[in-house]
């Protein structure tokens, strides 16, 4: 992997990640110099104890542009975009419309490929491995920023999820605090350790899932399963067999095996709803596959341990946390979505319409032959 750092015309950082070590990246952003103006601030909800990012400048972000005006495609034919070069493998740059900025954290965009018509599932294993390297490198770099406490790499796919740009891409957030979801896990870790005589809760969960019927696939270094209390209709958690706190700690064997395992999972998601109202392979122009069916919308989220001491969580250490990826779709059946209605949005109590064991069976059935 070769990494090249440059600056856009408005001063934002951009990094190329290339498969070839001899790749030269010297293209210059041809857009007029300027300055990105953000209004991000954090406000704390004293009743719930969490923080809300107020980012009113995001109202002006690009919204579903035609393919010819995609800002994530390479710059070509005199049409400058966010990426100055005429092609790329993987690119990461500071978000023009960040939810978090300055003292409130950092937001970056990750473009997985220059091919506008592709999706992550269309990547080769070599390309997917390069994305993993980019996620790992950015985790390392963002963790060194004084304003960043936790690094979150994720992908939203599909207009149903709220994606405003159809080009295959994800994001990386650097939060200045431990997120509420992670804080809940850390408190559960501490409580289980105290009640179970020192046993690690993540280890216990993985051991239980390996012995049950919800395993979707296994490899030498990874295990994917539908969790016992899945919140979403089709939800898979992907764990390395050896517990590590973050992407930086993955060993070479796990890194080498990850692309094939992850691409397999994504392709299974794209086969879940095959049929007249179901999903198809790849996103394609306008969010449609070649046959006109919408692709399976999903969120893929890496859970990593926060950086720094965790003294507020009863002495839990970073090494107690287990890196894992959560992959889920809001589609519950062909042509129907799972909406977060009164119970979920009002009380944060999820109601799942699909039995987890049934979801796991379906995900095993759609494995490639």
Which residues, including other chains, have CB under 8 Å from residue 3's CB and lie 6 or more apart?
Answer: 15, 16, 17, 18, 137
CA–CA dist 345, 254 (Å, integer)? 37
Q: Is the Cα dihedral 192, 198, 199, 201 positive or negative?
A: positive
CA dihedral 61, 62, 63, 64 (to 10 degrees): -160
Of 300, 263, 260, 301, residue with least CA distance to 282: 263
User: How many beta carbons lie within 10 A of that of residue 278, not counting itself?
Assistant: 19
Is there a contact between 288 and 297 (Cβ–Cβ < 8 Å)? no
Residue 153, marked binder: no
Residue 116, marked binder: yes
DSSP for 11-50?
Answer: S-EEEEEESSTT--------SPP-------EEEEETTTTE
Residue 73, marked binder: yes
- Active-site entry in 169, 237, 303, 324: 169
Residue 192, marked binder: no
What are the tokens at 341? Answer: 């209605």
Please say if 231 is a catalytic residue: no
Residues known to be catalytic: 169
Annotated binding site: 70, 73, 116, 167
Annotated binding site for Zn(2+): 70, 73, 116, 167
């Amino acid at each position: 992997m070769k990494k090249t750092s440059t600056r856009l015309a408005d001063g934002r950082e951009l990094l190329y990640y290339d498969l070839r070590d001899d790749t030269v990246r010297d293209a210059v952003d041809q857009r007029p110099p300027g300055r990105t103006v953000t209004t991000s601030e954090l406000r704390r909800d004293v009743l719930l104890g969490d923080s809300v990012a107020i980012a009113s400048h995001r109202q002006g972000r690009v919204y579903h542009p035609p393919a010819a005006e995609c800002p994530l495609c390479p710059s070509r034919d005199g049409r400058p975009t966010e990426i100055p070069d005429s092609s790329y493998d993987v690119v990461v740059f500071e978000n023009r419309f960040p939810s978090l900025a300055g003292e409130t954290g950092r937001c970056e965009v990750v473009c997985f490929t220059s091919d506008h018509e592709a999706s992550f599932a269309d990547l080769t294993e070599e390309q997917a491995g390069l994305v993993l390297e980019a996620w790992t490198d950015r985790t390392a770099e963002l963790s060194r920023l004084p304003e960043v406490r936790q690094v979150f790499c994720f992908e939203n796919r599909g207009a149903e999820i709220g994606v405003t740009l159809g080009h295959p891409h994800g994001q990386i957030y650097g939060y200045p605090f431990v997120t509420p979801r992670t804080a809940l896990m850390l408190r559960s870790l501490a409580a289980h350790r105290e009640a179970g005589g020192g046993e690690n809760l993540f280890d216990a969960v993985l051991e239980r899932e390996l012995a049950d019927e919800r395993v979707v696939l296994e490899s030498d270094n990874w295990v994917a399963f539908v969790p016992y209390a899945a919140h979403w209709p089709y939800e898979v958690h992907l764990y390395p067999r050896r517990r590590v706190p973050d992407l930086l700690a993955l060993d070479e064997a796990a890194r080498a095996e990850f692309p094939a395992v992850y691409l397999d999972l994504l392709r299974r998601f794209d086969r879940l709803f095959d049929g007249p109202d179901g999903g198809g392979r790849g996103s394609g122009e306008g969010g449609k596959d070649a046959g006109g069916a919408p692709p399976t919308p999903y969120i893929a989220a890496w859970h990593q341990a926060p950086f720094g001491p965790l003294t507020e969580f009863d002495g839990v250490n970073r090494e107690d946390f287990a890196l894992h990826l959560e992959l889920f779709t809001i589609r519950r059946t062909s042509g129907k979505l799972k909406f977060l209605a009164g119970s979920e949005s009002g009380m944060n109590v999820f109601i799942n319409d699909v039995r987890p064991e049934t979801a796991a069976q379906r995900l095993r059935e759609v494995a490639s032959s």
